[in-house]
Structure formats: C-alpha cells, structure tokens
Structure 1
Amino acid sequence: MPETLHRDERIPEAMVGMRLDQAAAELFPDFSRERLKGWIKQGALTVDGSQGRPKDKIYGGEQLALHAVLEEEVRWEAQAIALNVVFEDDDVLVIDKPAGLVVHPGAGNADGTLLNAVLHHCPQLAGVPRAGIVHRLDKDTTGLMVVAKTLAAQTSLVEQLQARSVSREYDAVVIGVMTAGGTVDAPIGRHPKDRKRQAVTASGKPAVTHYRVVERFRGHTHVRCKLETGRTHQIRVHMAHRRFALIGDALYGGRLKLPAGASDTLKEILREFPRQALHARKLAFIHPASGKRVEFRAELADDLLMLLDYLRVDSEERR
C-alpha cells in the first residue's frame, strides 16, 4: 500500500541562489530530482506554504514542506544474485559487497546490480525509494553497505549520513611510501573536462578524509581512511590529490610505478591488479529502531590479502 510522506526542511543560507529543485534534491536526497520536480509542480512540495516552480531561485531561510503519496518510482526487476549478508533484521540489511557488482542500475548497467539483488532478497523494498539504498560503493570497491528495509529506517539513515554521524572506515593500498597519516580537507566536484571523473576543485562540495598508516612497504603503503563526508570517489580523489593514488585505479592512478628490483611475480600482480585497492572495512551507525549504536566489520577481500602478502614478502626480501 502506498505510503504518505510528511517532511519539513528549512533551507540553509548556504543554498542562496540555487534553484528550488536543486535545493530540494540536497535536502531530500532519498528521492530523485525528477520526482521532486514533479512534486513541486503538483504542489505536494511547497515553499513557505505556497506552490513554486522548479526553476525558482532560493533566498535562504524558506521552509520546504513535503506532503506526498509515495508510489513506486521505477519497476526494477528482482534478480537472484548472491549476496553476502553480514546482518539483517526487520529494519536494515548489511551487505559485504564483492568487487565487480554495480550498486544501482544506470547507463550500461540496466540490471545485474546490487539493487536487483536486494529486491529479490527482500521484495518489500520495491516500495522504498531506491530500494532502500542510502549510500554507494564504486563497482570495484569491496566491503560494507547498509540498506534500509523501511521508509522510516531510510529516513533515519539518510539523516545520520547528512549529520556525518555514520562511521565509515576503509582499507586502501596506495602507490608510494607515506611517512605519516593526516587529513585531506579539500572540496570535491565534477572534473571540469572529464565527466567520468571527480576532482579537487574550489567549486566542489566539502570533503574530509582522515587517514593513518597501517603498514609500509618498499614502494607502497597500506592505509586506513575514515570518512567525514561521502563524496563520489572521495578516497580515490583525495589520495591521488596527495600523490598517493590507489593501486589499480585506472581513473586516478596515472602511470604505473614498480619498485626497483621487484620480482617478476610482484610486477605482474601490480600490472594486472584488476581494480582500485579499496575496501570498506567498518561501518557503524545508530540502529533506526533500537536507537543503539551498532558496528560491523568485513575482512579484506582475498585479492587485497594476496596483494599485501606479496608486498610484504618483497619488502622483507630486500631488507
């Protein structure tokens, strides 16, 4: 049965000058911009109690009120794709995503995605926006994701993500030897020339990544990254910005660098490593129903364990 939505948000001063539909997409991120535009045109999403137009400019301080009936947005196909379920109850589903699995259908990936898999696993998710998916991992990034099984759980998790209270830690293996950890506080936005890439840019959205060294090798470093924000490709962009691009990152890694005197086996592994060396290892949040903080961990994927083993052997043999 369709659910009725009742939500209110005040537009912050930082959004002055934005279009109404843009501001709405920022404040109600669990709905698509097209759906929000439709609600604005229908009068289901009002500004200070009045109907506006998607293109209207925002002055800051306005009160947005959303009162709408939630119909199923798109009829995605449920597909029997294996899932590694770490935890599940009536409210949330925590998954350890494998490499190669796209999270959401899109251009070039109409099906065969995590969304199709969770719809098969939990058919009632067809009634939740984006099938309960509140955050994403890149196709070739492994590790933990949480999916909301109800609209209330989704609202709670989205609010936690916006408040930066969800804790997300990643393991990465980068090119180069770091002397110490640190923080990258640099805004990220669309690359000005390449729409497939993100970049550190003054016009981007705030992005903060904390990182520390786990283990150093002769020409590489195993680092642990903690996100304050969740921008697209954030760790990949920030590490490349610090000139420590991830192993296997074809988009941001640049020219391949091999340690001097490396064995033929290690050279082949570094040349052929099929993905960015990135794994979402820990995820913690407030459970939407119990109100208690829950934490989950996922062991490194086998290919990353193998990579670290060969880097470790190479470093020990050259001491």
Structure 2
Amino acid sequence: MAERIVKEAQVSLDFSGQRFDQIATELFSDYSRSRIQSWIKEGVLLVDGKQTKPKEKLFGGETITLDVELEEQAAHDAQEIPLDIVYEDEDILIINKPAGLVVHPAAGHHDGTLLNAILHHAPETALVPRAGIVHRLDKETTGLMVVAKTLQAQTDLVAQLQDRSMGREYEAIAIGAMTGGGVVDEPIGRHPHNRQKMAVEPVHGKEAITHYRLIKRYNNHTHIRLKLETGRTHQIRVHMAHIQYPLVGDPQYAGRLKMPKGCSPELQDALRDFRRQALHAKKLELSHPATGEWMEWEVELPDDMLALIEVLEADLKNGGQNQYM
C-alpha cells in the first residue's frame, strides 16, 4: 500500500534570503521539519526542478515541488484485536485503552499490541510512523489515547503535545490521606541504578510538571485528579511516589504492599488483589488537526477502580484508622 503526494508552491518575496528547508517547512506546514529535510535529501523536494541543499538561500519567485510516494513505515503485522473506540473520523481515532494492552511492540511484546490492533482497524495508518500513535500509556494504565490516521494529523497532534495545548487529565487512587492538592515540578530521567525505572533526576532529568487535586480523601487513601503539562515516561507514578503518595498497586514505585491498621478484611482483599497501578486517563481535549475544532472526550473509570472506590467508601463509613501497619 502506498500514497502519492504531489504538491507545488511559489516562493514569495517575503521569504527572500531564508534557507530552503525553512521555507519548505513554512509552505508545506502539514509535514514536520524533519520529514521535509529528509525529502530534500532524498531529492523528492525540488527548487525549479533541481535538487538543492537544505541550507541554500532562496530569493523569491522560485517554485518548490514535492513528488513523493509514501511507503509503509514498519513491518508490523495487522492483528484483529478488539478496540474500544470512543470517536473516529478520517483524521483521528480516539481509543479507550484497557489494562494489560501494550502500546508499542518491543522486546517481550512483539505482537498483540495496540499498534497491531490499529493497523488492522485502520490500514491507512501503515503509512504513518508508529501507526499514528503520538503519545502512550503504560501497559497497565487505562484510558484515552489519540491516534493520527494521516501524516498531516500526526504532525499537528505532535505540535499540540509539544506546545502543551493538548489537555490530558487522569484519575488515580493514591496511598495515604492527602490534605490538599498541589503541583509537582521535578525533572524526570532514567533511574541511575535501575534502567527499567524512572526517577526524579535534578541534574540530568527533563522538565516534568504534574498538577493534582483531591476528589475524595478516605481513611488511608485519596482519590485524585491529575493534569499533565509534560509527558515524561511514568510521570504521574514517579511524581506521586516522590511526594510520598504512590499509586495503589504500582509494582515499580509503591514498594511492598502494606495494610492500613484496622482496615476491613474487604479492603485488605481489595488492595491485595489490585495488581496494577490505579491510574486512568479520564479526559482528553485537543484541536482537531483538520478542522481546528476544539474537541474533548471523557470516559468512566474502569470496573476495577470503581470496585476499589466502593470498598474504600465502605471502609470510610466503618471508620477505619488513619494509620499504616
């Protein structure tokens, strides 16, 4: 499967003295700068029919032409895996991801991933890098994700992530009774001693900002709403553990399971049986990449988190003690 793109644009005098790659990025703004530069090097993006170096300056009046055939980006298999589709049109796909579904193929997960499922559901995404996946959720995190079905949509959505205009809100159940909300502004990088984990890294970490507020405080847990400004790997999980309120069930950042003193047998069972981080991508809002329309979606918490909240509510009514053993 392949798609041919043929475009032409006249360089106006306003661009006089600017570099070819900069002008082409402006004139063909549906595509990323890195893609424009690769097309220039491949010789499919020309000036007056001639191959031109990216840094060469233009003076206005030239004609830039693009003639390229998009090939499939990856040799991943399309697999028929059920998807919970919240919204779909020609440009984007909004998915409510279940727990246990890996987003990208990787070591140990060569197939059976969300990417394989997307390729089956929307074969046109084979022409888009990573099958149009522009952001990810951890394997055991549930909730909303947006997928780009075209190259133009991908470029636009990536730009929204980078300029922080895309809104992403989560709900989680944290260990510990919080007294109020706040902001965690701490850089995150690879853990210095465990490459499978991330950590707050003041020197080598990248900027990471998480806002959180209380939905309800229980005896020994707190139901919270979180909003991301940045999108670092494991960001919410790392930040909440850093401020001593790790997420229930988090196998990497919550440490050994401790039972609250005096909690009911039902709550003990619920905590023992909750084997994933209690984290759900609840709300997603963005500017539609083709129409510019502001759109938003919100999905209910998954059954396992709702069941845990029900047990926490019962424990609160029964007056469990605010202390961990």
Unaligned runs of 5+ in 2: 8-19, 24-31, 46-52, 58-65, 321-325
The within-5 A match list for 1:63-74 is 70-74=70-74
Deviation at 1:246, TM superposition (A): 0.2
In structure 2, what is the Cα distance between the partners aligned to 1:169 and 1:282? 5
Q: Is 1:100 paired with 2:100?
A: yes
In structure 2, what is the Cα distance between the partners aligned to 1:44 and 1:177? 60
* Contact kept in structure 2, 1:186 and 1:200, CA below 8 Å: yes
Partner of 2:318: 317
SS at match of 1:160: helix
Partner of 1:209: 210
Partner of 1:265: 266
1:176-198 CA-to-partner distances (Å, cap 9, x unmatched) read 01100000000011111111101
Partner of 2:142: 142
* Contact kept in structure 1, 2:167 and 2:286, CA below 8 Å: yes
Change (3 A) 1:200 1:41: farther
Change (3 A) 1:314 1:162: same
Deviation at 1:47, TM superposition (A): 6.5
Deviation at 1:218, TM superposition (A): 0.5
Change (3 A) 1:3 1:235: farther
Partner of 1:130: 130
Answer with 1 or 2: which has the greater Rg: 2
In structure 2, what is the Cα distance between the partners aligned to 1:113 and 1:9? 37
Deviation at 1:3, TM superposition (A): 5.2
Partner of 1:193: 193
Q: TM-score, normalised by structure 2?
A: 0.80
Partner of 1:283: 284
Amino acid at match of 2:132: G
Partner of 2:232: 231
Change (3 A) 1:245 1:72: same
Partner of 1:88: 88
Deviation at 1:318, TM superposition (A): 1.1
Change (3 A) 1:198 1:4: farther
The within-5 A match list for 1:24-103 is 48-49=55-56, 70-103=70-103
In structure 2, what is the Cα distance between the partners aligned to 1:84 and 1:291? 25
Deviation at 1:254, TM superposition (A): 1.0
SS at match of 2:168: strand
Deviation at 1:289, TM superposition (A): 1.2
* Contact kept in structure 2, 1:240 and 1:246, CA below 8 Å: yes
In structure 2, what is the Cα distance between the partners aligned to 1:148 and 1:262? 46
In structure 2, what is the Cα distance between the partners aligned to 1:214 and 1:27? 42
* Contact kept in structure 2, 1:219 and 1:258, CA below 8 Å: no
* Contact kept in structure 1, 2:101 and 2:140, CA below 8 Å: yes
Deviation at 1:256, TM superposition (A): 1.7
Change (3 A) 1:306 1:8: farther
Change (3 A) 1:39 1:137: same
In structure 2, what is the Cα distance between the partners aligned to 1:149 and 1:290? 14
Query: Would you identify which runs of 4 or more consecutive aligned residues in structure 1 move more than 4 Å?
Result: 2-10, 38-47, 66-70
In structure 1, what is the Cα distance between the partners aligned to 2:197 and 2:67? 36
* Contact kept in structure 1, 2:21 and 2:54, CA below 8 Å: no
Change (3 A) 1:155 1:292: same
Percent pairwise identity: 57
Change (3 A) 1:168 1:293: same
Amino acid at match of 2:121: H
Amino acid at match of 2:137: L
* Contact kept in structure 2, 1:156 and 1:288, CA below 8 Å: yes
In structure 1, what is the Cα distance between the partners aligned to 2:267 and 2:33? 47
In structure 2, what is the Cα distance between the partners aligned to 1:219 and 1:264? 14
* Contact kept in structure 2, 1:3 and 1:71, CA below 8 Å: no
Deviation at 1:72, TM superposition (A): 2.1
1:101-139 CA-to-partner distances (Å, cap 9, x unmatched) read 001111100000001111111111111111010000000
In structure 2, what is the Cα distance between the partners aligned to 1:42 and 1:205? 33
SS at match of 1:309: helix
Amino acid at match of 1:272: D
Deviation at 1:69, TM superposition (A): 6.0
Amino acid at match of 1:192: P
* Contact kept in structure 1, 2:40 and 2:54, CA below 8 Å: no
Change (3 A) 1:316 1:91: same
Partner of 2:17: none
Unaligned runs of 5+ in 1: 11-25, 51-65
Deviation at 1:257, TM superposition (A): 2.4
Deviation at 1:2, TM superposition (A): 4.3
Amino acid at match of 1:250: P
